[in-house]
């Protein structure tokens, strides 16, 4: 739903970095997206194809690395994967948790020619 603005940022960052490296073509953009971040890869790809037209990033492959959600129990520090929608700590049953991984949203690297 809100992927258009995000994709504009991806195209802008990729073009700026490729420009700095004096590249003539962006072949691949490697993205890291946390499972909880709420962004849909297919949707980013759809916008990317249209936004990158007539730029050196046109036709670039978007590679998504998805980071699974991991939580940390505030009581005993256990790090665990949440099961379904309930999040108690599997070790101590604690209900106070924070997100340890899964909110990532960044460009890791570019492959250019």
Give the interface with other proteins as residue ranges (CB under 8 A): 1-2, 4-6, 8-10, 12-13, 17-18, 21, 23, 27, 31, 36-38, 74, 85-87, 95-99, 103, 105-113
User: Taking the complex as a whole, how short is the minimal distance between the CB of residue 64 and other proteins, in angstroms?
Assistant: 12
DSSP bridge pairs for 105: 33
- Token pair of 73, please? 């129990």
- Token pair of 78, please? 């256990």
Of residues 5 and 54, the one with the C-beta less far from other proteins: 5
Q: Are 88 and 46 in contact (CB under 8 A)?
A: no
User: Taking the complex as a whole, how short is the minimal distance between the CB of residue 104 and other proteins, in angstroms?
Assistant: 9
- Token pair of 36, please? 């909880």
């Amino acid at each position: 739903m809100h992927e258009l603005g995000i994709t504009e940022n991806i195209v802008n960052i990729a073009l700026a970095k490729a420009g700095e490296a004096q590249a003539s073509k962006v072949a691949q953009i490697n993205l890291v997206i946390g499972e909880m971040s709420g962004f849909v890869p297919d949707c980013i790809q759809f916008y990317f194809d249209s936004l990158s037209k007539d730029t050196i990033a046109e036709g670039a492959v978007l590679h998504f690395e998805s980071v699974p959600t991991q939580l940390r129990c505030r009581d005993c520090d256990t790090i665990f994967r949440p099961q379904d929608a309930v999040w108690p700590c599997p070790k101590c049953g604690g209900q106070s948790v924070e997100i340890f991984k899964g909110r990532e949203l960044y460009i890791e690297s570019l492959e250019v020619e």
